[in-house]
């Protein structure tokens, strides 16, 4: 009977493995040495990660899962879809703050393995698509309720995601926060889309 992968255990090992690689260097650490440092047998390590590429996939999945938990906690309870989208952008910048070393390590891990860029992008889309679809549907519903100005919901959500991707690259390459960029996006693009909920019509009195 095939063993079932314990996703929590896999994520924990991925986080610990990244710390080992951060300290020792990716090019100077074999899978056997990594297993020894983690206190697990080599077959156990290979069960969870077939190689460095498998470790990269697990690490990226763990980052996305952490991001989703963080932003969900921030936007839950925010009814207006544009306000929720703006808060998601701020929460994302907050989540990425101070992760420059981690991002660089993931790039190094990618270069050291044989990861297919198309596969990585497909995994990224799979992680993000449900949230994107929900945001688009919420904005579309907001337009129908006349609390969101008329716009293209898919393009608005895509614009925010592209800016967030760029803000992360900017933080990695220049070491500066994407916070001001997100606030400019809010002021110039998102805030004008917020409409007041129309007041209910009063019955005419004689």
In a domain, 206, yes or no: no
Domain count along the chain: 2
In a domain, 202, yes or no: no
Which residues are paired to 148 by β-bridges? 194
Instruction: Give one word for 202, left, alpha or beta, with left for phi > 0 and alpha for psi -120 to 50.
Output: beta
Contact 46, 13 (CB under 8 A): no
Alpha carbon distances (Å) from 155 to 126, 148, 151, 152: 19, 14, 8, 5
63 and 160 in one domain? yes
User: Per 3-state DSSP, what percentage of the chain is helix, strand, and coil (rounded to 5)?
Assistant: 75, 0, 25
- How crowded is residue 112: how many other Cβ atoms within 10 Å of its Cβ? 18
Contact 58, 10 (CB under 8 A): yes
Which pLDDT score, from 0 to 100, does residue 107 have? 79
Contact 127, 133 (CB under 8 A): no
Which residues are paired to 194 by β-bridges? 148
110 and 32 in one domain? no
Which pLDDT score, from 0 to 100, does residue 202 have? 55
Whether the pLDDT of residue 203 is over 80: the answer is no
Which pLDDT score, from 0 to 100, does residue 200 have? 53
The CATH number of whichever domain residue 41 belongs to comes to 1.10.10.60
- How crowded is residue 196: how many other Cβ atoms within 10 Å of its Cβ? 7
139 and 100 in one domain? yes
Q: What is the pLDDT of residues 76-108, one digit of tens each?
A: 989 999 999 999 999 999 998 878 888 888 878
Which pLDDT score, from 0 to 100, does residue 21 have? 86
For residue 37, what pLDDT band results from cuts at 50, 70 and 90? very high
**Average pLDDT in the chain:** 86
Mean local confidence (pLDDT), 26-45: 89
108 and 184 in one domain? yes
The CATH number of whichever domain residue 144 belongs to comes to 1.10.357.10
68 and 11 in one domain? no
Which pLDDT score, from 0 to 100, does residue 206 have? 45
The highest-confidence range among 45-49, 55-59, 61-65, 196-200, by mean pLDDT, is 45-49
Let me know if 15 is exposed, middle or buried by CB neighbors in 10 A (0-12, 13-18, 19+).
middle
56 and 4 in one domain? no
Stretch among 18-22, 72-76, 104-108, 157-161 having the lowest mean pLDDT: 104-108
159 and 60 in one domain? yes
Mean local confidence (pLDDT), 30-49: 91
Q: What is the pLDDT of residues 104-146, one digit of tens each?
A: 888 787 777 777 777 777 777 777 888 899 999 999 999 999 9
Residue 19's domain spans which residues? 1-49
Cα 80 from Cα 82, distance rounded (Å): 6
């Amino acid at each position: 009977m095939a063993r079932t992968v314990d996703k929590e255990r896999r994520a924990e090992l991925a986080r610990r493995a990244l710390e080992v690689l951060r300290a020792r260097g990716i090019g100077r650490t074999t899978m056997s040495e990594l297993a020894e440092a983690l206190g697990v047998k080599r077959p156990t390590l290979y069960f969870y990660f077939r190689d460095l590429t498998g470790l990269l996939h697990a690490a990226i999945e763990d980052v996305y899962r952490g991001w989703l938990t963080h932003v969900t906690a921030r936007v839950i309870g925010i009814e207006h879809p544009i306000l929720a989208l703006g808060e998601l952008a701020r929460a994302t910048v907050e989540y990425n703050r101070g992760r420059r070393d981690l991002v660089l390590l993931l790039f190094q891990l990618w270069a050291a393995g044989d990861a297919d860029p198309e596969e990585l992008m497909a995994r990224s889309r799979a992680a993000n698509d449900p949230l994107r679809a929900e945001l688009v549907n919420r904005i579309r519903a907001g337009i129908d309720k006349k609390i969101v100005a008329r716009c293209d919901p898919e393009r608005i959500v895509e614009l925010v995601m592209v800016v967030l991707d760029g803000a992360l690259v900017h933080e990695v390459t220049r070491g500066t926060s994407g916070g001001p960029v997100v606030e400019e996006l809010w002021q110039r693009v998102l805030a004008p889309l917020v409409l007041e909920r129309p007041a209910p019509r009063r019955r005419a009195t004689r």
